[in-house]
Each structure stands twice: as C-alpha cells, then as structure tokens.
Amino acid sequence: MRSMDDLLAPFHEACKPASAFRVGAEAEKIGVLERSLTPLAYDGDHGVVRVMRELARSHGWALVEDGGPLLALEKNHASVTLEPGAQFELSGAPLQDLHAIAAEFEAHRLELEAVGKALAPEGGERIAWLGIGFHPFARQADLSWVPKPRYGVMRRYLPTRGDHGLDMMRRTATVQANFDYSSEEHAMRSVRVGLKLAPFFTALFANSPFYEGKPFGGRSFRAKVWLSVDPDRQGLLEPMLAPKARFTDYVEWALDAPMFVVIRGDEVVENTGQSFRSFMRHGFGSHRATMIDWVTHLNTLFPEVRLKRTIEVRGGDSLPKHLVVGPAALFTGLLYDEKALGEAEALTESFRFDELQELRSRVVIDGPRAQFRGRPAGEVMQRAVAIAKSALQRRGKVENGRDEATYLEPVERLAAEMRCPADDLLDHVEQSQRSSGATGTAGGASIEEAVAAASLRICRL
C-alpha cells in the first residue's frame, strides 16, 4: 500500500452494471428471557453460543470458530455475527429483490423461534428477541462481553473519545442495508443522498424511547448515543456532501481516522495511536500497510452512510418485524432508479451540513416532528417515501400479485401520520399506566413493568 491508486482500488473494482445490482439487508436484535428480562449472555445455559450451536445442529448453519471462540455462523452467503454485548445480527445474502429479503428475514425469525422452544426447559423461560434500537432494560453491568479481540481494543479506546462508546457497542441495535454502485458518479450521488437524508431517516424509524426501564423523554436513545461516539469515525461527513465529492474525498477522511488494530494471522495487535495515513508512511513496529489492513480499517469506520465495496446505509434503529424490510425498501427505491435518484437529489440539494447536524440532535427527542426549516422533518420523509414507492412500482418485481412497494406500506403510514415506532411504545406505556390507575404505586403496574410489557408486545420478533 503505497499510493492513492492502491487505496482507491477497492472502490473502483466494486463498480458493476445495474443488471448485477443486489440488495443486502442486516438486522440486529436484542435477546432477553421473556419473564425475568435477563439479557442473554455470551455463553452459559442462556447464552447466544448455545443458540448458535442449535442453529447449526438443526437448521444447517455452519459454525465459524477457527480454533477460537464461536463468533459467527454462515449459510447460503448469509452470516450471523455477534455485537459486543451479545446482540444477534443477521447479515443477509446479496439478493435480487425485496421479496427475497423479506423471505430471508422471516425464515431466520422462524429458526430462532424454533430454537427458543428447543432450548427452553419444560415450563421454563423462552428467549424473546426484540427489534428495538436500544436495550430497554439492561444496565452495562448486566451484559457480558463477546470475546472478540477487536472488541477488547474498542472497549479500552472508545471511552476516551466520547461518553457513549460502550453504550454504542453493547446496548444498541440497528437495521442496515447495503447497495451496489455502477460508477464513481453513481456511488457519490448515492452517498450524498443517503447522508443528507440520514437525520430524517433516523427520525422516521426512531424506535428506542427507553433507558434502563423508563422512558428517557425522547424517541431514539440510540441516536443520542451516536452523538457522543468517537467523532473521528462517525457522523455526516461534511466533505462528502459537496456536489463534486469523489472517492478520493472519502479516502482522505478515512486516512486520518485512528486505527484500532493490525491483524497478522491469528495475532491482533492494538494500534489506536496512529492514523492509517501515518501507518502507510511509517509503519507500526515491523508491520507495513497491506490491502487487508486498509479493508479492515474501512470496516472500523461508522459514518451514517459507509462506503466500502457496497454503500451501507446505517442510520436507523432496529425495528419490529412488520417494519424490518422498510429501510431496504426505501433506499432500493431511491438509489436503484435514475429518476428517483434525481428526484431525491432535488429534494435534498439545498440541505446544509450545519442544519443537518442540528437536526440530528432534535430527532433524538421529537422524531419526525422535529423542526427543520420551520416545518416537521417528517414532511421530507413523506416526499422521500413517495419517490421510493413510485420507483419500486417501476421496478416491476412482482410476487404473489404484489410489487416491492408493499414493503413501504407501513412506512408510508408512519410518514403520513408524522409518527415513528417509538410513539407506539410510548402510547402503550401511557395506556398501561392510565388503565392501572397507578404510576409506580402499590397495586398498579410500575413504569418498569409497563416498559417491559410494551417492549415485548410491540418489538418481539
């Protein structure tokens, strides 16, 4: 790794014709025991390792161990991986349409349901998987650590760069989507639209109103967490908002981000005191930069839209099953249709970095009702959803008489009502408290019980 051409190579090599475009969706979920609400640990009788081994035994997943702790499963180009606090992530295969993504998610949900039944002792607690953006009950001390070497490095480093680094690692969950690009121009247009829509997207899909068993006063605690995570590796990337931004602009930003590790075989060497630019120029001890190091480094960056061999849209909370395909549907419509992409560019063209930054803070509390230029942010998403819906109808991917726009129907309802999923959770808590005639007093449901009931009823997958 010596030149800018070397650094740019992964992006140029990833360009492909539109006929080869696929969509890959990812969904993280939080596991708890359904009655005690105990978080799933990494190992033990109620650990995710036991879940993974049962998935392998009964459902055809292959264990990925490599002589160390179990950290992943693979099947049919999809994978299951673990986040630092034992959040369970399905990274779906690259698929041709949203119908296939919906089927993949549902098949995995049914697998986990079957595993939960198989592992529960007779009369014992089953596992409940929650599609929610921040753990509604657990404190940091309640969670175990997944024994992945990189996570140990992050555990030590991220608290030095923001107040919520460990919360991001261990208590958040997200739904993401990955998209192909045909050229540098298409990639940059897609990244720019994704970044400019990111706060609005976060607002519409806000789904984490609880913190340690109580409402925190807003709609997305996950979004709040991300405002206080290492500023060198996350955010809206102001240089990428420029109309003339190119791959080189992303590379220049990535070069100046601090590294986490250098990996050589089975050895993971901590290296948090050096940018990748410095590593290229000077090395680290006896180690010199390689393409594998560069790809590894790109995977340790967490902007709202991440550029790799695909474009990864990252800004949404994890979601209940009726909404989980929504983010992939929205951006499939916006990014894979030339007319829609142009309309999305026109919609967002005048949005400035400073006002988008301010909006990121506002949507934490108010979701789609947060003010942007004197109007609710949800109005922008109403227009974006309409653009995406028309594009999905034009794609003409029909299954059982329904095109892909069907996956935007619940999203369209949210946008029309200027609501987000968190509103349903908060409404349920309020109704529970009102019907019990108590707010934590003897004889009525406590606020913690109301939060638990809402989370399990609405977000259980």
Per DSSP bridges, beta strands 234-235 and 302-303 are parallel
Q: What is the pTM of this model?
A: 0.97
Smallest CA-to-CA distance from 79 within 178, 10, 190 is with: 178
pLDDT confidence of residue 2: 86
pLDDT confidence of residue 444: 64
Per DSSP bridges, beta strands 210-211 and 214-215 are antiparallel
Smallest CA-to-CA distance from 383 within 352, 422, 356, 348 is with: 348
**CA gyration radius, the chain:** 22
Looking at the domain that runs over 4-257+301-459, which CATH code has it been given? 3.30.590.20
| Residue spans per domain, the chain | 4-257+301-459
What does the block give as tokens for 428? 């349920």
Helix (H) / strand (E) containing 375: strand 375-376
pLDDT confidence of residue 292: 96
pLDDT confidence of residue 416: 98
Assess contact for 420 and 370: CB atoms under 8 A. Answer: no
How far CA 437 is from CA of 294, 442, 455, in Å, comes to 58, 10, 20
pLDDT confidence of residue 85: 98
Cα 22 to Cα 291: distance, rounded to the nearest angstrom: 25
How far CA 426 is from CA of 34, 97, 219, 459, in Å, comes to 20, 33, 9, 12
DSSP 351: -
pLDDT confidence of residue 266: 86
Q: What share of the chain is helix, strand, coil (3-state, %, to 5)?
A: 50, 20, 35
Smallest CA-to-CA distance from 29 within 95, 93, 102, 112 is with: 112
Q: What b-and-e string marks burial along 339-358, b requiring 16 or more CB atoms within 10 Å of the CB? A: ebbebbbebbeebebeebee
pLDDT string in tens for the chain (461-residue length): 889 999 999 999 999 999 999 999 999 999 999 999 999 999 998 899 999 999 999 999 999 997 789 999 999 999 999 999 999 999 999 999 999 999 999 999 999 999 999 999 878 899 999 999 999 999 999 999 999 999 999 999 999 999 999 999 999 999 999 999 999 999 999 999 999 999 999 999 999 999 999 999 999 999 999 999 999 999 999 999 999 999 999 999 999 999 999 999 989 999 999 999 999 999 999 999 999 999 999 999 999 999 999 999 999 999 999 999 999 999 999 999 999 999 999 999 999 999 999 999 999 999 999 999 999 999 999 999 999 999 999 999 999 999 999 999 999 999 999 999 999 999 999 999 888 765 455 556 799 999 999 999 999 99
Side chain identity at residue 244, one-letter code: K
pLDDT confidence of residue 443: 53
Alpha-helix runs per DSSP H in 126-239? 149-157, 165-171, 184-204, 221-226
pLDDT confidence of residue 439: 47
